[in-house]
Structure 1
Amino acid sequence: MQKEFDYIIIGGGSAGSVLASRLTEDPNISVCLLEAGGQGDSWTVNIPAACVVSLPTKINNWAFETVPQAGLNGRKSYQPRGKCLGGSSGINAMIYIRGNRADYDHWAALGNAGWSYDEVLPYFIKSENNERIENEFHGNAGPLSVSDVRTDNPIHQRYMAAAEAQGYKVLDDFNGAEQEGLGVYQVTHVNGERCSVARGYLFPHLSRPNLIVLTQAITHKILIENKIAAGVEVQHAGQIKQLHARKEVLLCAGAIQSPQILMLSGIGDQAELNEHQIEVKHHLPGVGKNFHDHPDFIFGYTVKDTANTFGVSMSGSLGMIKQIKRYRSERRGMIASNFAECGGFLKSDPALDIPNLQLHFVMALVDDHARKFHASHGLSCHVCLLNPRSRGSVQLSGNKITDPLKIDPNFLGDAGDVEDLVQGYKLTQQLMQSPSLSELYKQDLFTADVHTDDDIRNILRARVDTVYHPVGSCKMGIDEMAVVDPELRVYGIGQLRVIDASIMPTVVNGNTNAPVVMIAEKAVDLIRQSQIYKDVA
């Protein structure tokens, strides 16, 4: 097979799919995309409700676990991550959220020139094909299809009635002029099927002669020669191969595995690399640091309504047969559900400038990431803290790609995070006790015995976990702990960039998939501009 390419992309997830698609628009550019997982085009990906198959299992999922979390009473947190073309966009809840304007203005204020909201908005617009909203905030011709949820679930009306009863604004667009409020999410759907980033960007172009995509390809390390990224060592089809990059290596393995691959390649904290007998190619102490995630608590209730919620019952089973038939003929109904159909953004304190809480309202009973089964029909509501102060790390346990990682988001490590979530708990509970919702309940499964603030703190430490937004472990910046510069180039190593959620200096106020697509779209322009400069020079 071909051994030399202009660009080698490590990771065929959301960022990698965007890069492979955009860079190969130029027929004179050759690209090799390396993905450790499979094709990402099975029914478990394409059917929205089938995410319940992947989330608790290793189907298209790395299914990582963290080290014991001191802030969670020593529990290990679960960290599902997509393992297929499309990455986590192939197993997530498909919610299309960009974050808050202030997120990107803050990145720019930290010294990341070019990353203010006004500067990144064109990339969000470029990526998006919104089927309903046409205004200055949205795109209607991009590769990523965004649409309203197609479940026609009457519980949406109950949720919005509860929001209004609590005095919250009901929004029909969380990505426009304002973010604060509650409503029904838009999702990355195309005609009722999941539009993973691979489906939107990559699959239409797999026949391009200048694009090679290798699945089931495990990257062992980046080959560094004289402080230059020269290529990649990869295991594919039972062989260890060396592939060479004429222009750049683009690392897109995500917030957990991008720092791992950098460290295995000799880029990281010198003392940590020495501990694992890894030859130090460049001392870069920030690799694997600044790792953080949105801590999340879930309320759960069993309900009387078996027609519009997921669960196991005789009537529910008969209804599900009808739903399957409806999905086959119309691509609508419960099988089109992303589960977390409603939600929104609230402030734990009215004095805050922007919301610091996000809700995900789910048409099923969720316990331990669907790994604990309840036959009952139910409803759940997540509340997560959007601006956690706690910071953790990703560290190696050995010098091989197969050695398990020490993943530590340090959930609730900062006492301020706990107190913000106490307020988030109270606000969410008040919403869930609104008559339009509470009249559906049979039993409060998790919080019936919680009464005092200390009770809340205790149950938070007993039940909080991730809402699947890990970021920050190869942060962009201009300080001594930054891993990449504002053009996403790795400090100290030529021809190497990191392009994924790991570069976020701070996690955005919302779900992270749409921002990763934006980051990759912007990276394409950065790569092209630097190449023009090199050609002229």
Structure 2
Amino acid sequence: MGEFDYIIVGGGSAGCVLANRLSADPKTRVLLLEAGGRDDYIWIRVPVGYLYCIGNPRTDWCMSTEAEQGLSGRSLKYPRGRVLGGSSSINGMIYMRGQAADYDGWRQSGNAGWGWDDVLPYFKRAEDHYEGPGEFHGGGGEIRVEKQRLRWEILESFRDACEQQGIPHSRDFNTGDNEGAGFFQVTQRSGWRWSASDAFLKPVRSRANLKVETGALVDRVIIEQGRAVGVAYTLGGEKREARTGGEVILAAGAIGSPAILERSGIGDAARLADLGIAPAADSPEVGANLQDHLQLRCAWRVSGVATLNARAANIFGKALIGMEYALRRTGPMAMAPSQLGVFTRSNPRYTTANLEYHVQPLSLAAFGGALDPFPAFTASVCNLRPESRGTSRITSADAAIAPSIRPNYLSAAEDRRVAADAIRITRAIVAQPALARYHPEEVRPGIAFQTEEELQNAAGEIGTTIFHPVGTAAMGTVVDQELRVIGVRGLRVIDASVMPAITSGNTNAPTMMIAEKGAEMVLKARRHSAPSF
């Protein structure tokens, strides 16, 4: 195809949206480069298949954090999608926009055009909501959003216990105020996962002006005279270059995009020089401002109620689960990792919900491990707006070497206070009458943890990532409000890394919204730069 109008690096949630929108004009030549492979693995499509995709090098970068002081020196697995569809092909499928106040905060911090009223039309434009179009939802878009296809008595009882605790029922978390308890809506279609690749890329793969390369590991952006003119990448062991007369767009995610920027000489100039990388733009905030949601997996043993621990405890139970999915596309195999959501405040001084629960009819010691050999449920709770900030930065100019990821969980005193309060609130919910008939017994962290210091220590022992890294190429420091990299022409970052502050909920839907809005910005710039005759 020769020189391209746009080169998109990363075929994940943002990249698939960008490829769709930017290639809509048949005169526009678009190249999409994805380091992973095709998304034809059966466990990508089956919702419960995230268990076989996370930690699998076929679909996951299989990264890890450095040892975290706030987590008792533990290093955490840090899943990132390495396949078409990116993390939307391996994630929990929860469709969650966050709160209106999140985006109004972006706007108030100097990012004009990113308030709630500004971004809501982009959420709606791409959405195909099961209830159809309305004030807050879209119909006929690419992203299919449905109710979950399952029922668990223990989850309904937990929701009732929340109401007894003063947390109201919520039937829709995506109206700008997500406070309440209810069931998550998911990116599924008729019991199958509906990834960004399913939604945006597959329907347009046949476009003659769109070229998709998988297995393409991007080394760096080629910068000449202060302008991005292409990318250097490796495909099948062969070094290649692709050139553009338009723009290079990084959509490799909150870990991948800052790494490519740094290898291109955009970052802390002195540190990059120590790695043998010639500086192109001194931008010390590249790779900084890393934010993530740390979840505390609190678990209770119960009796007299069905849980997945018991249903999947033997071959017969597993066979029934398999048959239910095969015949009806319902049941545990259609489950998102978390089914019931709860949003509440850890302290009345917060004006909006700052805690999110992911409640599950199961328990296990660690993600991906074996289920506990007794009936139980888990109420994972995370601080939605952590003050702790971390970094993701390269340690080598070699693209094959993973960056050093340091989230710095619980490094802020307020985060430790919120964590202790979150455990107390969880215990208060479980103590309500709606759950009493199941005789809940606390398994994790355990009733031995009672004082403020003990609860903060417990949070460090049981805390783990919920896979929401953002902010490492933030608007206002690394990119401007049009998502253009400051200091380099013809280069943008359009993915979760541009969030100046993390959203109050799961981050996949906001990432696709950013790509939707970003694509419009790119096309608008092209129209304004086109000569008129």
Same fold, judged at TM 0.5 (above): yes
Matched ranges for 1:91-102 at <5 A: 91-102=90-101
Gaps of 5+ in 1: none
Which residue identity lines up with residue 236 of structure 2 in the other structure?
Answer: A
Instruction: Say what the alpha-carbon RMSD is for the aligned residues.
Output: 1.8
- Give the partner amino acid of 1:287: V
The code of the aligned residue for 1:147 comes to E
SS at match of 1:445: strand
Residue matched to 2:239: 240
Counterpart contact for 2:430–2:440, Cα < 8 Å: no
What corresponds to 1:429 in structure 2?
Answer: 427
1:527 matched to 2:522? The reply is yes
Out of 499, 504, 509, the position equivalent to 1:509 is 504
Task: Give the deviation of 1:312 after TM superposition.
Answer: 7.1
Amino acid at match of 2:510: P
1:355 maps to 2:353: yes
- Evaluate the alpha carbon distance shift between residue 160 and residue 535 of structure 1 in structure 2; reply closer, same or farther with a 3 A threshold: same
Instruction: Compare 99-108 and 169-178 and name the one that shifted more.
Output: 169-178
Q: Is 237-246 or 122-131 further displaced after alignment?
A: 237-246
Report the equivalent of 2:284: 285
For residues 160-212 of structure 1, the C-alpha deviation after alignment (integer angstroms, 9 at most, x for no partner) is: 22122212100000011531111111000111100111111111111111111
User: Any conservation in 1 of the 2:160–2:434 contact (CA below 8 Å)?
Assistant: yes
Distance 1:521 1:313, change over 3 A: closer
Measure, in 1, the Cα distance between the counterparts of 2:304 and 2:126: 38
SS of the residue corresponding to residue 308 of structure 2 reads coil
Report which stretch shifted further, 467-476 or 153-162. Answer: 153-162
Is residue 2:409 matched to residue 1:411?
A: yes
Q: For structure 1, which segment, 18-27 or 321-330, has the greater mean C-alpha deviation from structure 2 after superposition?
A: 321-330
Matching residue of 2:482? 487
Using a 3 Å threshold, how does the CA distance of structure 1 residues 97 and 86 change in structure 2: closer, same or farther?
same
The match for 1:398 is 396
Q: Secondary structure at the match of 1:391?
A: coil
2:459 aligns to what SS in structure 1? Answer: helix
Aligned letter for 1:291? L
CA drift of 1:447 comes to 2.3
- Aligned-partner Cα distance in 2 for 1:85–1:31: 16
1:82-161 equivalence runs, <5 A: 82-132=81-131, 134-161=133-160
Corresponding residue for 1:268? 267
Contact 1:108 1:114 in 2 (8 A): yes
- Distance in 2 separating the partners of 1:51 and 1:377: 22
For residue 68 of structure 1, what is the aligned residue in structure 2?
A: 67
CA 1:188–1:530 in structure 2 vs 1: closer, same or farther (change >3 Å)? same
Q: 1:270 to 1:136 in 2, by over 3 A?
A: same
Alpha-carbon separation, structure 1, partners of 2:55 and 2:300: 20
The AA in structure 1 aligned to 2:494 is: I
Displacement, 1:363? 2.4
Kept in 2: contact 1:363–1:379 (CA 8 A): yes
How far apart are 1:3 and its partner, in Å? Answer: 4.4
Residue 493 of structure 2 is matched in structure 1 by 498
Identity %: 37
Q: Aligned partners of 1:321 and 1:308: how far apart in 2? A: 16
Match of 1:166 in 2: 165
Shift in CA distance, 524/278, structure 1 to aligned 2, threshold 3 Å = same
Amino acid of the structure 2 residue aligned with 1:114: G
Separation of aligned partners in 2, 1:417 and 1:423: 10
Rounded to whole Å, the distance in 2 between the matches of 1:53 and 1:378 is 23
Deviates more, 1:367-376 or 1:134-143: 367-376
Could you tell me which residue of structure 1 aligns to residue 254 of structure 2?
A: 255
Distance 1:186 1:500 in 2: 22
Query: SS at the partner of 1:148?
Result: coil
Please state how far the C-alpha of 1:56 moved relative to its aligned partner: 4.2
Render the CA deviation track for 1:310-369: whole Å, top value 9, x for unaligned: 45765x532332222221122112211013000121001123211111100012214332
Secondary structure of 1:472 counterpart: coil
| 2:469 is the alignment partner of 1:445 | no
Counterpart residue number, 2:328: 330
SS at match of 1:291: coil
Alignment gaps of 5+ in structure 2: none
The offset of 1:6, in angstroms, is: 1.1
Q: Is the 8 A contact 1:301 1:441 kept in 2?
A: no
Alpha carbons 1:499, 1:523 under 8 Å: kept: yes
The alpha carbon displacement at 1:398 in A equals: 1.1
> Aligned partners of 1:217, 1:370: CA distance in 2, in Å?
29
User: Contact (CA 8 Å) 1:307, 1:319: kept in 2 or not?
Assistant: no
TM-score (norm 2): 0.96
Change (3 A) 1:432 1:90: farther
Query: What is the DSSP-based 3-state SS (H/G/I as helix, E as strand, rest coil) of the residue aligned with 1:39?
Result: coil
The alpha carbon displacement at 1:140 in A equals 1.1
Q: Is the 8 A contact 1:253 1:500 kept in 2?
A: yes
Distance in 2 between residues matched to 1:512 and 1:156, nearest whole Å: 23
8 Å CA contact 1:151, 1:337 repeated in 2? yes
Deviation per CA, 1:483-533, whole angstroms, max 9, x where unpaired? 000000001111100001100000011110000000000011100110111
Q: Distance in 1 between matches of 2:275 and 2:311?
A: 49
The alpha-carbon deviation at position 395 of structure 1 amounts to 1.5
8 Å CA contact 2:127–2:137 kept in 1: the answer is yes
Does residue 20 of structure 1 match 2:19? yes
2:523 aligned partner, one-letter code:
R
Supply the distance in 1 between the matched residues of 2:312 and 2:253 (Cα, whole angstroms). Answer: 39
- In 2, Cα distance between equivalents of 1:321 and 1:72: 38
Greater CA drift, 236-245 or 257-266: 236-245
Contact 2:66 2:405 in 1 (8 A): yes
The alignment partner of 2:48 has SS state of: helix
